[in-house]
A and B are shown apart, each in its own frame.
Chain A
Amino acid sequence: MNRFLAVAAALALAGTAHAAGNAENGKAKAAQVCAACHGAEGNKPTAPENPILAGQHQDYLVKALKDYKAGKRSNAIMKGFAATLSNQDMENLAAWFASQKSNLHFQR
């Protein structure tokens, strides 16, 4: 019974873990698309107006990319880049950046 419960719990967790992005695929895509402005790991933006992505919440990053692509968030530069990304690319990029280290942190 205990083992059954453990398996059930693991399955439940896997279900909530999101249509999992692949961080390694995200890393490759980031090098082509994002690195020039945000840094390869997303922790060294080349201009102060560009956000730090490393360590940001994964689901927020996906939401931001989808909003850029859909035109719900207006930014001429990001709209152009996001337009080239598939949903899977966005999940992969978010998985990559969310798992990188930076000074970004929760603060009250």
Chain B
Amino acid sequence: MPARTVLAAALLALCGAAQAQQPAVPSHLQNNLSMCIGCHGIAGYKTAYPHVYHVPKLGGQNPAYLVNALKAYRSGERNHPSMRGIAASLSDKDMEELAAYYGGPGK
């Protein structure tokens, strides 16, 4: 077997392994996640309005708590303006998927 073929085969095998480690995120979840990442996906990010403080860490949080938090923003029981706007666009199922993505053991 020519060396070049062996190299190509090895590279392909590596690609396969890399993909297997990172399970694909469904596109609708990826769309919803893009709203979270703008603030929660930046390490050390702070809110600018109406008060300045670090946005909470979500990774590893209890999923049931995260779902309740999103629902409370949607209903107005929690009142951060950006979070209210985002939660208003999410269905119950969206919230459960996002909570499952962030919650649980480290990724």
Contacts and interface: CB of A to CB of B under 8 A. Distances in A.
Interface of A: 45, 48-52, 55-60, 62-63, 72-75, 102-108
Contact of B64 (A48, A55, A73, A104): A48
B62 interface: yes
B71 to A, nearest CB: 11
Given A45-B65, A48-B63, 20 more contacts: A51-B61, A52-B61, A52-B65, A56-B57, A57-B53, A57-B55, A57-B56, A63-B53, A73-B72, A73-B78, A73-B79, A74-B72, A104-B61, A105-B57, A106-B57, A107-B41, A107-B58, A107-B60, A107-B107, A108-B40
Contacts of A52: 60-62, 65
B24 interface: no
11 contacts: A57-B53, A57-B54, A58-B54, A60-B54, A72-B79, A103-B105, A103-B106, A105-B59, A107-B58, A107-B59, A107-B102
Contacts of A62: 53
Q: Interface residue tally of chain B, by bracket?
A: 20 to 34
Nearest to B56: A60
A60 B55 contact: yes
Contact of A63 (B40, B51, B106): B51
